[in-house]
Chains A and B, each alone.
Chain A
Amino acid sequence: MAKLVLPAGLLVLLLLGGPMLLMLRYSFNVFDPLFLMKQAFTFENYARAVADPYYQKILTTTILVALACTALTTLLAYGPAYWLARMESRWKSKLTILTMFPLLVGGVVRSAGYLALLSTDGLVNAALRGAGIIAEPLQLLYTPGAVIFATVGIVLPYMILTLASVIESIPRQVEEAAANLGARPGRSFFRVLMPLSLPGVLAGATLVFILCMNAYATPLLLGGPQFQMMAPAVYEQFARASNWPFGAALAFLLLIVTVILTSLGSSVIARRYRAG
C-alpha cells in the first residue's frame, strides 16, 4: 500500500515541500538593496509583519473578505446544492457539469470579464443609465463589494458540488419522516437536514475559506491598488520591492493564520455538530 502513496508523496515533497522549506529559510534572511538578500537568522521579518499596523490592516481585510465570501457562498450554494442532490431527471449530470463550467475559465479571464461589467462605462452602469435609474455612473469597480461579488462567483461551484455530494448521501426518508411527524419544511431543514449536512458545509466552507484567504487575481484586478489583501501584498514584496525575506515571512504569516482559523472553525463546528 505504501508504494501506492510514494509517487504522489514524492511529487508533493519535491514540488511543494522543497520550495516551502527554501522560502522558510529565506524568511529568516535580511534584505539588501544591492544583493537582494543576505544570509542571516533573524525573526525581524516576522516581527515586522505581525507588529506593523499596515500589514495588520491588510491581514484583517483578508480575513474579513474571506469570512464574508464563505458565509455568502454557503447561503447561496445551499439551495442549488439541495436541488441538484435531490434531482432525479436525466438533466442531473448535465447540470452538474454546468455547475463546474465556470471553473473552466481561469480566474484572471473571469476577472477581466467583471472589469468590463463593472467599470464606469461598463455594462451595469450603461444599463442603469439607459433605464434612467441613475444619472451619473456608480463606482462599482475598485471597491470591496466588487472583490466579494467576483470571489463568490469564482468559489460558488466548489461549495455547490461539495454540499450536493453530502446532501445526496442523506436518505430522503429522513426528511419524509420529519414531515410525517408534523415538522414544517423550515423546521425539518433546521432540525434534520442542516445538522446532517454539516460535515459538507464544513468541508465546503473550509475549501472556500482557504481559496478566499489566498485570492490573488480578483483583489488585484477588481479591488484596485488601494484595496489590499495578503496574496497581492506577498507578490508585491517579491516582484516589486525585491524583498524576498519579508515576502517569505508574509507568506508564512498568511499560511499560519489560514491554518489556525481553519482548524478553529472546523473544531467549533464539529463540536456543535456532535452536541446537536
Chain B
Amino acid sequence: MTRLSRRAFLASATAASAAGLLCTPAIAQSSDIVVGTWGGTFGDLLKANVDEAILEPAGWSILQEVSGPVPRRTKLITERMQRRGSMDAALLADFDMHAAAKVGALEELGEETVPGYGNILPFLRKSHSVPLIYSAHAIVYRKDLIPTPPASVAELWNPAYKGRIGLSDFLYTSNMAYAAIANGGTLSDFEGAETGVQAWRELDAKLLPSTEAVGQALASGDIWLTVISAARGYSWRKGGIDLGWVIPEEGAFPAVYEAAVPKNARNAEGGMAYMSALLDPAAQAAFAAKMGYLPTVSNGSIPPELEAEIGFTEAERNRLWQPDLDFIMENQAAMLDAWNRILKG
C-alpha cells in the first residue's frame, strides 16, 4: 500500500483547494446571483418576494451579501477596476447609487436588458439603476400631541416643540436639506443648513442614534415630531402609535431605493434578471403592504385602502424635491462633519 506522506498530503490538499477556488467563478456564472443588500425586514422581504417567489423557480440561486450602505458603495467604487467584482446586483439609496454610477462602476440598463424597465415611473427612471421602492422623508408627528398637522417646514423649528423635536442621526442628509430649505437655501447649495441645525440644537432637539430609537421616542412621547420616511410612519402606526405625516407645503426629500448591476459582475445576466424581478408588480406590492413603500412601476397596483394609507396625492408627489445628487455626492462628508460638530461638539 502506498503511504501518503505528510508533505504529499498537504500538497494534494492545497491543490484540491486551489482547484476548488478556481472553479468558483464558473459555478457562480451559471446560476448564482450575489446581491449586496440591507438585512433585517428588508432582506427578508427580498428573500420571500423576489428570490423565492420569482427567481428561484426560474432556476437562479440567490446569495444575499448583507452590509451597510456605505461599505456597499465603497465596494462598488473600489472594485470597479477589478476584472471581477464581488456582487452581481447591489441595492442602495439613490444618492449612494449616484456616486457609483458617476465613477462608471455600473452597467447601463434599458428595456432590452431589463424586462419591465419601460414600466418604471418616468420621474424615477435612470440609465444605470432601477428604483425598487420609494417614499418621502416627511414630517412624521404624534397626532394626539400635535392636533394641527405641521404643514410647513418651519414647524420643525416651532419653539412650542422645544425638547420634543427628534432628529435621526442616520438621516443627516435629509435633515440638513430641510434645514437648508427652511433657511432660504436650495438643494444645490444647502445654504443656511448649518443655521437650521444650530437652531435645532438651541431648541434641545433630540438626536437619536437609529431608526428604531426614533420609533421608540415617538412611542414614549419623548419626541413629538421628526423627519423620517412616511413608510416608517405607516409601519409604526400599524404598530399602534398615533402618528400622522405631512408632505410640507415647501416639499419633502424623496426616499428612493435603487438597484444596479456592477460592470464587473460575475453574473451580469443574473444581475439583469434580478433587476427585472425587483420591478415585478407582486414584489412591489409586498414591499408596500409590509413596509409602506410605494411601487415604482406604472403596472404595479396596491389595494385602494392601502393606497389611501401610504400613497401621496398628485400635488404631494409634485412637491417632492429633486435633490442635486452631484452636490450631495461632492459635499456629503462635509455635511456630516458640520452636522456632527454642531450637534455633538
A contact residues vs B (CB 8 Å cutoff): 31, 33-36, 53-54, 57, 119-121, 220-221, 224-226, 228, 236, 239-243
B contact residues vs A (CB 8 Å cutoff): 68, 70-71, 73-74, 77-78, 99, 102-103, 169, 207-209, 216, 220, 222, 329-333, 336-337, 340-341, 343-345
Contact B68 A239 (CB under 8 A): yes
Contact B99 A34 (CB under 8 A): yes
* A240 to B332 Cα, complex, angstroms: 9
Contact A31 B209 (CB under 8 A): no
Contact A34 B102 (CB under 8 A): yes
* A36 to B332 Cα, complex, angstroms: 12
Contact B333 A239 (CB under 8 A): no
A239: which B residues are within 8 A, CB to CB?
Answer: 68, 70-71
Contact A225 B169 (CB under 8 A): yes
The distance from the CB of B202 to the nearest CB of chain A, in whole angstroms, is 15
B73: which A residues are within 8 A, CB to CB?
Answer: 242
Closest to B333 in A: A241
Contact A224 B209 (CB under 8 A): yes
The distance from the CB of A48 to the nearest CB of chain B, in whole angstroms, is 10
Contact A121 B220 (CB under 8 A): yes
- Residue of B70, B74, B169, B341 near A54 (CB, 8 A) is B341
* A236 to B337 Cα, complex, angstroms: 10
Contact B169 A242 (CB under 8 A): no
Q: Show 6 residue pairs from A and B whose CB-CB distance is below 8 angstroms, ordered by the A residue.
A: A33-B329, A33-B331, A121-B220, A224-B207, A241-B336, A242-B333
Give the A-B pair count, Cβ closer than 8 A. 57
The distance from the CB of A214 to the nearest CB of chain B, in whole angstroms, is 20
Contact B207 A240 (CB under 8 A): no
A242: which B residues are within 8 A, CB to CB?
Answer: 70, 73-74, 333
Q: Can you name 17 extra interface pairs (CB under 8 A) apart from A31-B333, A33-B330, A36-B74?
A: A33-B329, A33-B332, A34-B330, A35-B103, A36-B78, A53-B345, A54-B340, A57-B345, A224-B209, A225-B209, A226-B207, A239-B70, A239-B71, A240-B70, A241-B336, A242-B73, A242-B333
Contact A228 B220 (CB under 8 A): no
A241: which B residues are within 8 A, CB to CB?
Answer: 332-333, 336-337
The distance from the CB of B226 to the nearest CB of chain A, in whole angstroms, is 14
Closest to A241 in B: B333
Contact A34 B103 (CB under 8 A): yes
Contact B207 A120 (CB under 8 A): no
B169: which A residues are within 8 A, CB to CB?
Answer: 225
Contact B329 A120 (CB under 8 A): no
- Residue of B99, B209, B333 near A243 (CB, 8 A) is B333
Contact A33 B340 (CB under 8 A): no
The distance from the CB of A12 to the nearest CB of chain B, in whole angstroms, is 23
* A221 to B341 Cα, complex, angstroms: 20
Q: Which of A220, A236, A241, A243 has the most CB of B within 10 A?
A: A241
Closest to A246 in B: B333
* A31 to B333 Cα, complex, angstroms: 10
Contact B333 A33 (CB under 8 A): yes
A31: which B residues are within 8 A, CB to CB?
Answer: 333
B337: which A residues are within 8 A, CB to CB?
Answer: 241
* A259 to B208 Cα, complex, angstroms: 33
* A35 to B79 Cα, complex, angstroms: 11
* A239 to B78 Cα, complex, angstroms: 14
> 6 tightest CB-CB pairs across the interface, nearest first?
A225-B169, A241-B333, A225-B207, A225-B209, A33-B330, A226-B344
Contact A120 to B222, CB < 8 A, known contacts A34-B103, A226-B343, A242-B73? yes
* A121 to B222 Cα, complex, angstroms: 11
The distance from the CB of A122 to the nearest CB of chain B, in whole angstroms, is 11
Closest to B332 in A: A33
Contact A225 B344 (CB under 8 A): yes
A54: which B residues are within 8 A, CB to CB?
Answer: 340-341, 345
Contact A240 B336 (CB under 8 A): yes
* A224 to B206 Cα, complex, angstroms: 10
